[in-house]
Structure formats: C-alpha cells, structure tokens
Amino acid sequence: MSNVTVEQLADVVGAPVERLLEQLKEAGIKADDATTLISDEDKLKLLDFLRSSHGKNEASKSEGKQQITLKRKSVSELKLGGAGRSKTVNVEVRKKRTYVKRSEAASSEKDELDRLMAEKAERDEGRKQAEEDARRKAEEAVVAKAEAEAKAKAEAEAAAKEKAEAEAKAEAEKAALLTTEEASKASKAKEGHKKSKKSHDDKDKAETRYGRKELHVASGKSGQRKKKPRKRSGATAESTGKHGFEMPVVPIVHDIGVPETIKVSELAQKMSMKSAEVIKLMMKMGVMATINQVIDQDTAILVIEECGHKAHPVSDDDRENTLLELAKQELGELVARPPVVTIMGHVDHGKTSLLDYIRASKVASGEAGGITQHIGAYHVETDKGVITFLDTPGHAAFTSMRARGAQSTDIVILVVAADDGVMPQTVEAIQHSKAAGVPIIVAVNKIDKEDADPDRVKTALGNHEVIPEEWGGENIFINVSAKTGEGIDDLLDAISLQAEVMELQASATGPAKGLVVEASLDKGRGVMTTILVQQGQLNKGDILLAGQEYGRVRAMFDENGNQISEAGPSIPVLVLGLPSTPSAGDPIQVLADERTARELAMSRSEKDRNARLATQQQAKLESMFANMGKAEVNILNILLKADVQGSLEAIREALVKLAADNDEVDVNIIGSGVGGITETDITLAAASNAIVLGFNVRADAAARKAVSERGVDLHYYSVIYDLIDEVKRALTGMLAPEYKEQIIGLAEVKDAFKSPKFGLVAGSIVTEGVVKRNQPIRVLRENVVIYEGELESLRRFKDDVDEVRSGTECGIAVKNYNDVKPGDQIEVFERVQVERTL
C-alpha cells in the first residue's frame, strides 16, 4: 500500500477527518488538511501513538467495563537485528484477544478500530521493556489464578468465564492491556528459551484444562485468527449467573462460494464480519478497497482464506446453469419451421422500402386490432411457405443478438442498390453475416432505375466472396425493385428455397424459448416486448423470463395488432406483462414457476452489475498503471461508447485486431460501454489521456461541457468501417484531410403532433447551433441514434424556413419517420472537409 491522503485514511479507518487530523497533530505528523499525503512511515507513527494513548485509556476504562482478555499461543519467527548482525529465533508466543461486553462493543466501533490499528502496529514493532515486564507478570498471574479456578470448576464452559474474569482483573491491576505476542516475544527472547518454554508449558496445561475448545484458543493458528467471527451467546451468561459476559463459541468455518466478482460488503456478510474489518484486513494485504468496491474472484478468495474460511470459486454461469438445469422441461418433437430473415445493406439502398413493400403487399391486413404498434418483425405467408422478417434497423440489432450468443437470423437478404453498388456498409453486412455463418441472398435493388447496373454489383460482390450461383458460387442473386415490386415474388421464392435446403427445425410444443427483438415502454400499456419464438409455444399466462426481467404474459398480439393466445416457432409476437424493458437480443424462456424465474433474473442482474463495476474499476486502475512509466511507448488510449452491445463487441474486436497487426503502436481500450457519453466517461478519458469514440451515441450536455473544459478528443461515427479506418490511419500517421461529418445544430423535441400535410410534426426548440432545412439529420433518444434521414419540413409559425437558430422554437417534420417523441433530440449535421487529427 502506498501513500494515501488523510481523507482516504479517515475513510478506511472510519474516523472523521477532523479527528484524524487532530490525532496526526498529536502524534507529531505534519498534516495540514484532508489532502495531505500520509506515508507508510507516518501511518506507523500514528498507529504507535494511538496505541500508546489508547492503551492508557483502555486501562483506565477497563475497570468499569466488563472485559475479558484471552490468550493463545502460536509459533512465529523473530528477527533480532542488533549491531550489524541479525539472527532468527523461533519463539512460541501467546496472543491476546480482548472481549468486551456486547453493548459496549457495539457502542465503541471506533475504539475497536483503534485497537485493531494498535494491534497491527504492535505486531509490526517491539515493545517497551516496562510493558513487557508488566505483561509477563500479568500472564503469570493469570495462569496461576486460572489454575486455581480450574480446580474449583468442573465445567469447561464456566471455567472459561472464570479465566476470562481472572484475566480482566489481572489486566486492570497491571495496567497493561494492549499487549502483543511481539512483546512477549522480545522479552522471552531476551530471557532465553528455557524460561519461555516453561512458561509456555504452564500455559498449555492451563488452556487444556480450561477447555480451550470453547474458547477456541487452540494452538498452531496464525494471528489472523482474531479476525474470525465469533458467535456470542447470551444464554451462557445466564448459565453462570455471575457475569454479564457473552460466551464466544467455536468459530464457524464457512465454506464460501465466491462469484466471479463480489462487493466488499457482500464478502464481509458471507464471512459474518464487519465490512470495516474486511477493509482493514485488505489494507494489510496491500489492497485498498472501499465498502462498495467490487473485487475479483482471486482477491476475494485470498481474503477469505486469510480469515480462516474455506473458499471455492463459483462461476456465474455455473449458478445460472444449475438453475436452468433444475428448470428444464420437456420439449416436443422437432418439426419444420419457417425461416427468419434479416435485411441488411448500405444506407439508402432500400432496406426499409423493401420491407415495407413486402409487408404492404403480403401481410394479410387484419381487422383493426387491439393495438396499433410497429412491432419490429412480421411474417408473410406465400404459397411456398411462411417467412418471418425482422425489420429492426441494420446490422447493429443483428450483431447485438449474436454477441449474446443468440442466432436471431437464418438468412440475410443483402440489399445493394444497382445504381450505387457495393458500399462500406455493404461490406460490413457481408462480414457480419459471414461471421455468423448465415447464408446471404443478394437483392439487387432499384432495378427500375435507368442507371441500374446489376452486373457491376455482381462483380463487386465477387471481390468479397459473395458469388452468384451461375458463376459457380453459392449465393442467390435476385434483381428487384422495391418501388415497382418487380422481382419481389422471386425473392420470396428464393428465400423459401434456401430455407428448404437448410432444413430448419424446431419443436412446436413445450415451453417457449426465443429472443427479445425489441422492447419499449408505452404510457398506457406498460412494457411492450416483441419476442421471436424460436422453440416451443408461447402462451398467454406463461411465466416469462426475458434477460433480467420476468413476469406473466398478460396479453399477446400479432403484427396486425390482433390478440392471440399462442405463438409457435419463428413467429414474432408483441407481449405485455414484463415489469420493465429487457434489451434487444436478450434470451427469453418460459419457466414452470415464478420462483425460479425470480432467482434467474436476480442472478443475471447481479452478474451484470458486478461485471460493469469491475470493468469500470479495472479501467481506472489499468490506465493508472499504463500511464506510469510507459509514456514513451506509443499507445492510443480509447474510451468507446456504442448504441448496442453488438456494435461495441464488433468495434472492440476490430480494434484489438488492428493493434495486433501493428507493432509500433498499441491500442488500449481503457473503457467501453453501451449508451450515451456521460461526464464520467469524459473524466475517465481525461484522466487516462484517452480519446473518446462514440458509435451512434452522443455526449450529453454535462459531458460536452467537460469535453471543452478538459480538452478531451471526442469523435462520433455511424459506420463501424469509418471508425476503424480512422483509428488505423491515426495509428499509421496517415491522417489525410477528408470529408467528415460535423454537427451544426441540435433541437430538442418538446411536443409531437399530427399535421395532415406533413405527418408527425415535432414542436421543438433549437438548443445549439443552427437547424437547417436541407442538411441530413439524426433523431436521438437518450443520446443514442435511433433514426437517420432528412427533414420533410422546417417551419416557424406558419412559414417554411430554411434555418432556425439557437433559442428559437420551430416545427420539424422528419421525412418517412413518425416516431419522434417529446424529449428526443434532432441533430443536424453536414459533411465538411477537415484536417484529420485523432
């Protein structure tokens, strides 16, 4: 443990800063204020001081307080370092443990800590001769007295009490309360082994006779024994009828299962110890920790073993698997199931148009159902069979599900605009699909356009190992137009054909398993979760576990808003009944009883929380160490935030690979997470000299302020390829000036209302910069990008305007997007030429 400030020390020992400062002053240590650094030496000095002053206090107090002190022996080594030579002597020493009546113990937490500190100092250092003598006499008196008492008392339990009392008396008389094994060590070493041995033998006898089991003063244990929890029983006091002492019984050795990460307070609880004691113990082991800190499994096991308990590692997955194993239910026979399809491709190549066309032309529109809500997935019935489409936007959803180990998709439709060809996100989509091992069907779109060149698309895709069947490859290419509907039926046929080859199967009965496709909160109906059933059958009334949430299925709806009571494999449903929103990609399953569901939900959220805390702390520590002495190594520190777990993992992987391919420089991801960029992120980045990369996320107001105050380098991206490319260029020093996005304005949505002419209009106020009518925009919800597109109209009162400046209200209609809600933000950006710096 290195230097700490007065404040930190005060926190650790649990004393007010003022008091500690006072004590420091009394001990002759210079400490001006709470931020003064205290060295180890100073700490020892303070402990020494506390010990001596405390010893006095305790001695005068002990007469009034009912207090017993127990000793036990142990073997240890003593180094005598006199006049240039040193020798090591093995000595057997006795340790002391003072018991105070419970009421007092409870009321004097601070005293206890002082005492613990004092004891530490005492173990570390020798003792004064006078005290040694006093102590030795006290011991002898105790032994003698105890022996006498032993004859009188047959019952070991009672004897223990007597011994304790004897000690308390003796101690009071001798005014030598807080002594240690070191003290006797030193004195005995001086007096020679003979004497020491003799005294020890006496003691041993006494202990045996006094039933040391009850007092658990068994020999051969280390000094850490005093850390053990002891049960104090009030009943024993009554049985002797004489004293108000509470009887310590055999220490309970807990066999503690240690999860992958654990909070210090939880660890303490598992060992039945006070958190403060655990913290002190960890300090001694050289680990600074606070009560709420999460420590890793290895550290926790060391601490537990140090306390004399047994520890066995328990992986979080083990726990979950055991629960799942117990909850396992029979699934039905396997039958063929419909394919689940995801449409991917570069922006503006027609993904949404294609989905909309298929939905509009193929989904049998039911009667006005109970719910009108876009549920993020739908299924169509063709004469070749049922096909389910996931229409969550883009690759992120796809990969976020895959990152959780769930395969959401059987077939990917890669949309490539015939007039635009292969673009960065096209390549990204191929990579995602190939990584997931999902077959790709290429929809060459916009075939109706004059400048459509489907052959160019074929050639270009060939470079990325997506090769048409007619050229000997295994990818089906279909020319389509989402505008005219040309080729759409061929596309659906191709999907059914591909599915047939894949022989997709699932059991149609038994408890449902599947995935969360998306989830949202509706003011009236509560949490609405779109679920894709993958196995079994989901029924109304089932107990549903979705990620960390569980609840009963209150109602289910199909994509037309019609109430349904069951859903089989590959069928998407909207479910009401979960208490709060799970994440997209979370696994769902139906369980037989609510208790198991609750336990699994709890175990998952605990695991999640701990893992988060652990990475946060790790990031801080690692960067601290990284910055120490490593300055000359070329490291690019990165703090990464993304909209979903999937993109985060993908970017992480790519960055790690990038660093592995490059010898001179290293990429160090000091922190990463899902969601908007916060002030804490910026602080961490500033502290670690890191750049901040946001993928489809934005910094909030406080974070932006911190960015300008601390001069942190912040970059936004919406294409993974761009991000990686830019980092790569930065690493290789090839930052050429290039076109780049710059945010020019930000508006906050105050209200959303329907206008017959423009659809949904967002009554907004421009909070930063300028909102321009003809620039591309993004819609942000909680600092995460949820839509990218352009404006349909920009109005001030009744007038169309070209731009609106900061502080001004306006009405904004986003083209093709009707989901803007109050609280959302609309950011306007432009592409400008900038000097590239990272």
Site string for ligand GDP, 740-779 (x = CB under 6 A): ----------------------------------------
CB-nearest residue to ligand GDP = 350
Packed helices 316-327 and 594-627: angle between N→C axes, nearest 10 degrees: 170
By beta-carbon proximity to ligand GDP, the closer residue of 274 and 483 is 483
Closest contact distance (angstroms) between CB of 830 and ligand GDP is: 19
Contact 534, 514 (CB under 8 A): yes
The option from ligand GDP, Mg ion, none interacting with 676 (CB < 5 to 8 A, set by class) reads none
> What are the start-end ranges of the E strands in 619-737?
634-642, 665-674, 691-695, 714-717
By beta-carbon proximity to ligand GDP, the closer residue of 43 and 395 is 395
Range 460-479, binding Mg ion (CB under 5 A): none
Range 686-705, binding ligand GDP (CB under 6 A): none
Determine the Cα–Cα distance for residues 319 and 426; give it in Å rounded to an integer. Answer: 41
By beta-carbon proximity to Mg ion, the closer residue of 95 and 349 is 349
**786 counts as binding ligand GDP under rule CB under 6 A:** no
Q: Which of 412, 420, 373, 405 is nearest to 390 (CA)?
A: 412
Range 347-366, binding ligand GDP (CB under 6 A): 347-353
Task: Give the pair of three-digit tokens for residue 806.
Answer: 């900061």
Determine the Cα–Cα distance for residues 160 and 762; give it in Å rounded to an integer. Answer: 80
The runs of H, that is alpha helices, within 384-475 are 394-403, 424-436, 454-462
The option from ligand GDP, Mg ion, none interacting with 353 (CB < 5 to 8 A, set by class) reads ligand GDP
The option from Mg ion, ligand GDP, none interacting with 481 (CB < 5 to 8 A, set by class) reads ligand GDP
Closest contact distance (angstroms) between CB of 453 and Mg ion is: 22
CA dihedral 316, 318, 323, 328 (to 10 degrees): 130
The option from Mg ion, ligand GDP, none interacting with 607 (CB < 5 to 8 A, set by class) reads none
By beta-carbon proximity to ligand GDP, the closer residue of 171 and 792 is 792
By beta-carbon proximity to ligand GDP, the closer residue of 137 and 483 is 483
Three-class DSSP category at 379: strand
Range 493-532, binding ligand GDP (CB under 6 A): none
Determine the Cα–Cα distance for residues 658 and 80; give it in Å rounded to an integer. Answer: 57
Closest contact distance (angstroms) between CB of 501 and ligand GDP is: 27
By beta-carbon proximity to ligand GDP, the closer residue of 446 and 641 is 446
Output b/e per residue, 110-119; b: 16+ Cβ within 10 A.
ebbbbbbbbb
Interacting stretch for Mg ion, rule CB under 5 A, among 5-13, 68-76, 347-355, 714-722? 347-355
Contact 229, 273 (CB under 8 A): yes
Task: Give the pair of three-digit tokens for residue 533.
Answer: 């059933």
DSSP characters over 21-33: HHHHHHTT----S
Interacting stretch for Mg ion, rule CB under 5 A, among 125-133, 337-345, 349-357, 432-440? 349-357
Neighbouring residues of 647: CB distance < 8 A, sequence distance ≥ 6: 395, 396, 399, 400, 695, 696, 720
Q: Show the 3-state SS of 82-111.
A: ECCEEEEEEEEEEEEEEEECHHHHHHCHHH
The option from ligand GDP, Mg ion, none interacting with 337 (CB < 5 to 8 A, set by class) reads none
Closest contact distance (angstroms) between CB of 487 and ligand GDP is: 9
Sign, CA dihedral 325-331-334-336, equals negative
Contact 387, 496 (CB under 8 A): yes
Closest contact distance (angstroms) between CB of 696 and ligand GDP is: 15
By beta-carbon proximity to Mg ion, the closer residue of 126 and 776 is 776
Q: Are strands 566-567 and 572-576 parallel, antiparallel or unpaired?
A: unpaired
**352 counts as binding Mg ion under rule CB under 5 A:** yes
The runs of H, that is alpha helices, within 175-315 are 181-191, 193-209, 212-215, 234-240, 264-270, 275-284, 297-306
Closest contact distance (angstroms) between CB of 444 and ligand GDP is: 10
Contact 73, 94 (CB under 8 A): yes
Interacting stretch for ligand GDP, rule CB under 6 A, among 31-39, 440-448, 539-547, 722-730? 440-448
Computed over its alpha carbons, how large is the radius of gyration of the chain? 36
Interacting stretch for Mg ion, rule CB under 5 A, among 27-35, 215-223, 350-358, 490-498? 350-358
Amino acid (1-letter code) at residue 202: D
CB atoms closer than 10 angstroms to residue 701: 12
Count residues binding ligand GDP (CB under 6 A). Answer: 15
By beta-carbon proximity to Mg ion, the closer residue of 705 and 815 is 815
Site string for ligand GDP, 446-465 (x = CB under 6 A): x-xx----------------
Closest contact distance (angstroms) between CB of 490 and ligand GDP is: 14
The option from ligand GDP, Mg ion, none interacting with 448 (CB < 5 to 8 A, set by class) reads ligand GDP
Task: Give the pair of three-digit tokens for residue 257.
Answer: 């299962």
By beta-carbon proximity to ligand GDP, the closer residue of 349 and 607 is 349
Site string for Mg ion, 302-341 (x = CB under 5 A): ----------------------------------------
Closest contact distance (angstroms) between CB of 516 and ligand GDP is: 22
Look-up of token digits 């960015």 = 707
Closest contact distance (angstroms) between CB of 648 and Mg ion is: 22
Closest contact distance (angstroms) between CB of 558 and ligand GDP is: 24
Closest contact distance (angstroms) between CB of 801 and ligand GDP is: 24
Task: Give the pair of three-digit tokens for residue 351.
Answer: 């993904």
Task: Give the pair of three-digit tokens for residue 680.
Answer: 């804490």
Q: Are strands 714-717 and 691-695 parallel, antiparallel or unpaired?
A: parallel
Closest contact distance (angstroms) between CB of 351 and Mg ion is: 5
Helix (H) / strand (E) element for 500: namely: helix 488-502
The DSSP bridge partners found for residue 67 are: 100
The option from Mg ion, ligand GDP, none interacting with 76 (CB < 5 to 8 A, set by class) reads none
Interacting stretch for Mg ion, rule CB under 5 A, among 230-238, 351-359, 519-527, 691-699? 351-359
Determine the Cα–Cα distance for residues 298 and 316; give it in Å rounded to an integer. Answer: 14
Three-class DSSP category at 590: strand
Site string for ligand GDP, 473-492 (x = CB under 6 A): --------xxx---------
Closest contact distance (angstroms) between CB of 449 and ligand GDP is: 5
Range 326-345, binding ligand GDP (CB under 6 A): 345
Q: Which of 476, 473, 471 is nearest to 492 (CA)?
A: 476
Closest contact distance (angstroms) between CB of 450 and ligand GDP is: 9
Sign, CA dihedral 402-404-405-407, equals negative
By beta-carbon proximity to ligand GDP, the closer residue of 292 and 816 is 816
CB-nearest residue to Mg ion = 352
**275 counts as binding Mg ion under rule CB under 5 A:** no
Closest contact distance (angstroms) between CB of 476 and Mg ion is: 23
Helix (H) / strand (E) element for 613: namely: helix 594-627
Q: Which of 101, 82, 111 is nearest to 236 (CA)?
A: 101
Closest contact distance (angstroms) between CB of 409 and Mg ion is: 17
DSSP characters over 190-207: HH-HHHHHHHHHHHHHHH
Interacting stretch for ligand GDP, rule CB under 6 A, among 38-46, 209-217, 443-451, 495-503? 443-451
Contact 206, 150 (CB under 8 A): yes
What are the backbone dihedrals phi and psi of residue 787, each rounded to the nearest 5 degrees, phi first?
A: -155, 145
By beta-carbon proximity to Mg ion, the closer residue of 352 and 481 is 352
Site residues for Mg ion per CB under 5 A: 351-352
Q: Which parts of this chain interact with ligand GDP (CB under 6 A)?
A: 345, 347-353, 445-446, 448-449, 481-483
